[in-house]
């Protein structure tokens, strides 16, 4: 293998427009912001990585601005002169330099894996155990808009064969209205589609206990994170009381969180997210914890471009337990992308890239066009 001594670490912030606004429980976005990490080695190989947060720092505390400061000021100096192929060693080294900041670290780790894959002439999934599946079914996110709006969008996706699984955001309106909205969508789509919901921790336990049974009886297949992430006991009681699967997202805040959820029997499914967990390696480790507890996994999204989407696809496709599909819809929601050839979708699924490294390359002209000054 060529010399992978790290010579430079650069970051840039980018804002890309969306095809349509995307509404969460407490905010709506018309563009998505990204941090792009570029790691260059002594032999001229450049690995790229990406980080994005779904809708801003309200979700996990980090923003692309804080990521840039953390990488430029604290992480990059620790990487210069190091061997990029020692990925696990370097990530442990960075953990000693800066606690938490999982999104920033995930972007760095992506770039390291991309560089290693290029040097070896193999796709990243071969560095993660190899493909378990060639493609991953994609759930389309419908947001928190009114029922008629999301039904129309879902019908369009069904008619064109793009998607047959949909996730609605909840928590933006009064619970009874929200529950009725979701049930009306589920009934309109019927057996033609799977309908899932994500509350992003918007409800408390009593509200969840009151209204989740209505979703269960109304044809909803899965409920994601109904209560705040810290309230594992409430998650446990809800999971025990309901037949509808409860998926942990905000509660799955790293490997200790994965262990706590399994020990408490507080989730039926894990929502893996590469950025939330701190990288591709950490994602595999969290999936292993789930496997030990007999829990399936779902591949989550932070609304990435083709860069982060490709990285997550390599990880999810190499994990046997990702049996609930994924939400790697970012490139489909974005009006623009950052690569020369975007990732490919077909028959409602994301095709895992087979090129070396991440399998996608930066489009320098688009990067220059959308980069912040």
Pair type for strands 345-346 and 194-198? unpaired
Partner residues linked to 14 by β-bridges: 34, 371
Q: Is 84 helix (H, G, I), strand (E, B) or coil?
A: coil
Closest CA to 283 of 301, 265, 305, 268: 301
- Phi, psi torsion values for 125, nearest 5 degrees: -60, -25
From 157, 167, 169, 273, the catalytic residue: 169
The stretches of the chain forming alpha helices (DSSP H) are 64-70, 76-79, 87-97, 102-120, 124-127, 147-159, 175-189, 205-217, 232-241, 255-264, 274-277, 280-292, 306-317, 330-333, 364-370
Q: How far apart are the first and last CA of the chain?
A: 37
Cα atoms found within 13 Å of the Cα of residue 276, Cβ hemisphere only: 25
Phi-psi domain of 149 (left: phi exceeds 0; alpha: psi -120 through 50; beta: other): alpha
Please say if 327 is a catalytic residue: yes
- Phi, psi torsion values for 113, nearest 5 degrees: -65, -40
From 62, 145, 250, 327, the catalytic residue: 327
Closest CA to 144 of 124, 188, 174, 99: 174
Burial of 330 (0-12, 13-18, 19+ CB in 10 A): buried
- What is the length of the chain? 373
Catalytic residue list:
169, 327
């Amino acid at each position: 293998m060529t010399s992978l001594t790290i010579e430079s670490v650069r970051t840039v912030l980018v804002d890309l427009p969306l095809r349509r606004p995307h509404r969460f429980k407490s905010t709506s976005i018309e563009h998505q912001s990204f941090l792009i990490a570029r790691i260059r080695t002594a032999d001229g190989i450049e690995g790229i990585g990406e980080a994005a947060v779904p809708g801003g720092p309200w979700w996990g505390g980090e923003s692309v601005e804080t990521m840039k400061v953390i990488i430029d000021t604290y992480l990059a100096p620790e990487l210069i002169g190091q061997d990029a192929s020692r990925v696990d060693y370097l990530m442990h080294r960075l953990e000693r330099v800066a606690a938490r900041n999982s999104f920033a670290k995930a972007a760095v780790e992506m770039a390291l894996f991309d560089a290693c894959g290029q040097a070896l002439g193999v796709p990243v999934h071969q560095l993660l155990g190899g493909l378990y599946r060639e493609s991953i079914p994609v759930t389309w996110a419908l947001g928190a808009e009114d029922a008629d709006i999301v039904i129309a969008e879902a019908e369009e996706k069904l008619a064109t064969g793009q998607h047959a699984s949909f996730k609605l955001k909840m928590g933006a309106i009064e619970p009874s209205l929200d529950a009725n909205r979701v049930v009306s969508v589920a009934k309109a789509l019927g057996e033609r589609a799977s309908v899932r919901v994500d509350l992003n921790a918007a409800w408390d336990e009593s509200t969840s206990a009151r209204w989740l049974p209505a979703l269960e009886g109304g044809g909803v297949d899965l409920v994601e994170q109904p209560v705040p992430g810290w309230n594992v006991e409430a998650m446990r009681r809800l999971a025990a009381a309901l037949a509808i699967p409860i998926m942990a997202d905000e509660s799955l805040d790293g490997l200790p969180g994965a262990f706590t959820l399994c020990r408490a029997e507080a989730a039926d499914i894990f929502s893996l997210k590469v950025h939330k967990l701190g990288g591709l390696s950490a994602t595999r480790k969290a999936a292993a914890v789930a496997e030990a507890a007999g829990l399936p996994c779902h591949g989550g999204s932070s609304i990435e471009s083709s860069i982060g989407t490709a990285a997550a696809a390599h990880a999810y496709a190499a994990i046997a337990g990702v049996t609930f599909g994924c939400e790697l819809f970012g490139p489909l929601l974005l009006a623009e992308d950052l690569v020369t050839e975007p990732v490919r979708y077909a028959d409602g699924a994301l095709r895992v890239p087979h090129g070396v490294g991440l399998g996608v390359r930066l489009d320098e002209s688009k990067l220059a066009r959308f980069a912040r000054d």
